[in-house]
Amino acid sequence: FKALTTDQIRLTTVDSHSDRAEIAEFQVFSPSAGTGKAMELVNWALKSSGATAKASSEMKKEVAVAEQDWGAKQPRINKILLEGKAENAIDGKRLIGNWRDFFPTTWVADLAQPLPQWLEVDFAGPKKITSVTVYTIAFETWTPDTSGIRAWDVQVWDGKDWQTVDSITENVRVSKITRLKTPVTTEKIRVVVKATNDAKGTVGIMEVEAYGPR
């Protein structure tokens, strides 16, 4: 919409998929100071932006699923391969419709591996980053407070070593944004998971975003 000057804004929720109104984040953008031109922010952590991802471990598990066809007397038993690849967390998807879509869009660490576990995103070149957002597990009964990650460090590569720019603890939210007081130019970032809310020890991240100017 056309730029305007105001001292407050309000968002009114008129419908919801549940009996609650919840907002994980509300952002307002304005023109760059002094230029009068809007600053375009890019998610450099997207696979479509050229980013790649790797992790300390990845879940790979075959499960048997019983499915009943309409009118059939016996269910069919299908074997499904579940893969929690690192690249799943940079595909731009953080909303899913059913459990089958959950694993193809989520990085899940190998349950047999101990904490900490890490997910690394390489930008394929230096990028200026102003914020990093981590979306943890959130789907139906898999809620952040029972299945999501609880504590993690956000790190940036300085060319020689990893530098921690934020440490999150006691998280029970769907997402958490790390805003950098001073923009950082780096080739890659890393999320180091140190604790999870899941009783079985599951470590999963649905999406990692890293925004900065083009």
**Is the whole model's pTM more than 0.85, yes or no?**
no
Mean pLDDT calculated for residue range 32-51: 78
| Neighbouring residues of 12: CB distance < 8 A, sequence distance ≥ 6 | none
User: Is 145 in a helix, a strand, or coil?
Assistant: helix
pLDDT at 136 over 90: yes
pLDDT at 33 over 60: no
User: Is 166 in a helix, a strand, or coil?
Assistant: strand
